[in-house]
Amino acid sequence: MTATLLDDPDHRAFLAEDARRALNLFDASPRAGGGFHGLDPAGQPLPADLQELHSTTRLVHSYALAQMAGRPDRAGIIDQGMDFLWNGHRDRDHGGYLWSVTGDGPVNGIKLAYGHVFVLLAASSAKMAVHPDADRLLDDITLVLDRHFWDAQAGLFRDEFTCDWQAFSTYRGMNANMHGVEALLAAHEATGDGEYLTRAGGILRFFIAGQAAGNDWRIPEHYDADWRPDHAYSGNPMFRPAGTTPGHSFEMARLLLQWWDLAGRPTGDAVAQATALVRRGLSDAWSDDLGGLVYTLNRDGGVDNAARYWWPVTEAIGALAALLKVQPTSEFDGWYRKLWQFAGQHMVDARHGGWHHELGPDNQPVMTQFQGKPDIYHALQADLLPLTPGLSGQAKDLAQLQPLGV
């Protein structure tokens, strides 16, 4: 069997230490009175009072993983996040969860599938970390997703509603469904309920076997009400950019392998499909001149947005780590090493902790799309998932390994 960087003791020690540094930085997140601060590059709170649903949920999920991995939640982030989801984001009048709030109340009451599936992820991870409020949140978000967002005929998540659940667009998207798969797999691990796993598998089949396979292994991001690709769509440049997004192909590849493992490794094309997604994403997105991965492509695979963010690199690392566990080849090991070498040189902030979120043309950190370091979730998973021996049962593996110590 080919020896890979995944097995190298020095690399594994680096992963654990990078995770600890990030957690130490984000320990400064809790805000007096509830919710969380955004952080500047040095980990100091930013003055903005706005709290978005995906930020709250990702912090809960990340610190739940870290707690299972042996790093106590010294800052009380899981407790504060679970309380703020229930008492800050939850819409007591209409049900569901508000996208953005401040200490004075709702700012944007739109109900997005993207945010709601992260509530499911947070609740599931909190349950695996044995949080006392996890079942309450898990039961509520499962009901909300099933009642409002789940398109039973298509077997996919619809995207958006007004605060009182009126449909105001026909937009359908891959991003919310991709993170829906992530959340459904976590919910299955947390509860053992097979319906979560079944739904995740159906979503993966639609976007990978049904879309990527017919589009040269690039996944269309945007769809109309009948789930037909809308190649002309151009929405929010961060959450709904035009074209295709290679970083999402890496995420989908990893999630496909996680589902395949949880489903008992059924015969079929899961490994081949994951391999095709990763190879296409690396071929399309790697910047030969500067390193790193470009953000978006046009329909034919040319670069549309050449910005280089941290999260596609973290997701490529996660996908390659998963593939290396199935087929430890020199090809995948070479790419895994290459990505970590680039990240270690340009994106990992060894001084303050966490990762720089964007690089400029001189490979120095810039802040055009993001202010400071608003997110621990992507980079923490890039550290933790390669440390686990399996493709699924991530929480169980972390709890058994305790790679972050006490």
Catalytic residue among 131, 179, 346, 378: 378
Q: Which of 216, 192, 183 is nearest to 299 (CA)?
A: 216
Q: Which of 144, 147, 305 is nearest to 221 (CA)?
A: 305
**Whether 94 is catalytic:** no
Exposure on the CB side of residue 398, measured as CA atoms within 13 A: 27
Q: Which of 400, 390, 271, 373 is nearest to 44 (CA)?
A: 373
Q: Is residue 17 classed exposed, middle or buried when 0-12, 13-18 and 19+ CB atoms within 10 A define those classes? A: middle
**Whether 378 is catalytic:** yes
112 is written with which tokens? 């997005």
How far is it, in rounded angstroms, from Cα 85 to Cα 34? Answer: 10
Catalytic residue among 248, 346, 356, 357: 248
* CB neighbour list of residue 70: distance below 8 Å, 6 or more residues apart: 398, 402, 403, 404, 405, 406
Q: How far is CA 82 from CA 52, 93, 114, 131, 141, in A?
A: 14, 19, 18, 9, 13
- Beta strand 222-223 with 172-173 is antiparallel
Q: Which of 20, 14, 9, 122 is nearest to 71 (CA)?
A: 20
How far is it, in rounded angstroms, from Cα 83 to Cα 85? Answer: 6
| CA angle 210–214–215, rounded 5-degree value | 115
- Residues tagged active-site: 248, 378
